[in-house]
A and B are shown apart, each in its own frame.
Chain A
Amino acid sequence: EPEVTQTPSHQVTQMGQEVILRCVPISNHLYFYWYRQILGQKVEFLVSFYNNEISEKSEIFDDQFSVERPDGSNFTLKIRSTKLEDSAMYFCASSDGTSDEAFFGQGTRLTVV
């Protein structure tokens, strides 16, 4: 069964460093999303991406964050100058656009130290 894959599964970085989280959405999907979940808290929407541009973003998604689809398969989330409070699980999701179902990857646990 097709699935969304994310790498790495766990990333540890020093405060102030840049990280890139990678996602390979399901191959025929057109809409891509990033969510985050701080430990013990709810899943929060960050950004949606369609047709090679951001379609929606939340107030969390400030200038520190950027997304890119560098080729036909990868979808990345870059976090510049990481802060301690960026520590969270980051989930990528994709949908095919014919229904509203979004399928999630297994997540990347980001730990900023």
Chain B
Amino acid sequence: QKEVEQNSGPLSVPEGAIASLNCTYSDRGSQSFFWYRQYSGKSPELIMFIYSNGDKEDGRFTAQLNKASQYVSLLIRDSQPSDSATYLCAALNRDDKIIFGKGTRLHILP
């Protein structure tokens, strides 16, 4: 079973601090990785995708990929209360299926 693993949280971070979300995946054939944000009762919203080792920055968000360690992370700088949500890590595996982790609940403390 090809899995994507995340700590379910909740992860509590003070407003203005950096939130760090982590994810590991089991399928070494996975090529692309995604971070989605999901508010309660809403659909997943794509924040970032990454397919090369290293860092990719977009505004307050930085995705990091380490294929050797099969590890993906998302950093959120200057955390805002509106960032409070569940963050889903997903991997596009060799079967062209996007497999989701269970998500990490992030709570930004005002």
- How many interface residues does chain A have, given as a range? 20 to 34
Asked whether any CB of chain B lies closer than 8 Å to the CB of A102, the reply is yes
Q: Is B78 an interface residue (CB 8 A)?
A: no
The stretch of A12-20, A42-50, A62-70, A73-81 in contact with B is A42-50
B contacts with A, residue count (CB < 8 A): 23
State whether the Cβ of B31 lies closer than 8 Å to any Cβ in chain A: yes
Residues in B with CB closer than 8 Å to A56 are: 95-97
Interface residues of A in 25-80 (CB under 8 A from B): 33, 35, 41-45, 48, 55-56, 58
Could you say which of A45, A91, A99, A105 contacts B97, with CB atoms under 8 Å apart? A45
B99–A103 CB distance below 8 A: no
Contacts of B32 in A (CB 8 A): 100
- Give A78-108 as 1s and 0s: 1 = Cβ < 8 Å from B's Cβ atoms: 0000000000010100000001111111110
Chain A contact residues, CB within 8 Å of chain B: 33, 35, 41-45, 48, 55-56, 58, 89, 91, 99-107
A-B contact pairs, 16 of them (CB 8 A): A42-B88, A42-B103, A43-B44, A44-B100, A45-B100, A55-B96, A56-B96, A58-B97, A100-B31, A100-B49, A100-B51, A101-B49, A102-B46, A104-B43, A105-B43, A106-B42
